[in-house]
Amino acid sequence: MHPARLFHQTDAAALAALVAGRGLALIVGVAAGRPAVAHAPVLLEGRRLRFHLSRGNALTPVLAAEGATALAVVAGPDAYVSPDWFGLDDQVPTWNYLSVEMEGPVTALDDAGAATLLDDLSARFEAPLAPKPPWTRHKMTPGRFEALLGGIVAFEMTLERFEGVWKLSQNKPAEAIAAAAAALEDRPDPGSRDIARLMRQP
Q: Please report, in tens digits, the pLDDT of each residue of the chain (202 residues total).
A: 899 999 999 999 999 999 999 999 999 999 888 999 999 999 999 999 999 999 999 999 999 999 999 999 999 999 999 999 999 999 999 999 999 999 999 999 999 999 999 999 999 999 999 999 999 999 999 999 999 999 999 999 999 999 999 999 999 999 999 999 999 999 999 999 999 999 999 7
Domains of the chain with bracketed CATH:
5-195 (2.30.110.10)
Measured CA to CA in angstroms, residue 118 lies from 63, 113, 135, 148, 149 at distances of 19, 9, 11, 11, 9
Residue 155 contacts residue 108 (beta carbons within 8 Å)? yes
Residue 100 contacts residue 164 (beta carbons within 8 Å)? yes
Q: 91 in helix, strand or coil?
A: coil
Measured CA to CA in angstroms, residue 200 lies from 180, 193, 194 at distances of 10, 11, 10
Q: 184 in helix, strand or coil?
A: helix
The helix-helix angle for 190-200 and 174-185 (nearest 10°) equals 150
